[in-house]
């Protein structure tokens, strides 16, 4: 396939749109995130942008914070 052919840009567009759709479908917004100040896990609410804390703490984060004291 030659770059100057008329089919190449069309195929390239389809491949890039396919990659974009794959990233959108596999995006997991419900994965818990760690609060750097308290080491508590939370989920970001996508509708209002608020944090919903899960009352769980990341042990590695807590250990690291204790080392810095």
Burial label, 17 (beta-carbon count in 10 A; 0-12, 13-18, 19+): exposed
Count how many domains the chain has.
1
Q: Is residue 34 part of a domain?
A: yes
* Domain contains 11: no
The helix (run of H) or strand (run of E) holding residue 34 is: strand 33-34
pLDDT of residue 28: 63
Radius of gyration of the chain (CA): 21
pLDDT at 1: 61
| CB of 56 closer than 8 Å to CB of 40 | yes
| pTM of the predicted structure, to 2 decimals | 0.50
Instruction: Report, as an integer, the average pLDDT of 8-18.
Output: 92
The domain of 34 spans: 29-69
Residue 43 lies in a domain: yes
Percent of the chain with pLDDT over 90: 16
């Amino acid at each position: 396939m030659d770059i100057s052919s008329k089919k190449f840009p069309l195929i390239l567009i389809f491949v890039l749109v396919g990659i974009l759709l794959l990233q959108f479908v596999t995006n997991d917004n419900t994965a818990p995130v760690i609060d750097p100040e308290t080491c508590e896990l939370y989920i970001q609410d996508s509708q209002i942008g608020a944090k919903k804390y899960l009352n769980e703490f990341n042990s590695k984060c807590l250990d690291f914070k204790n080392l810095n004291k």
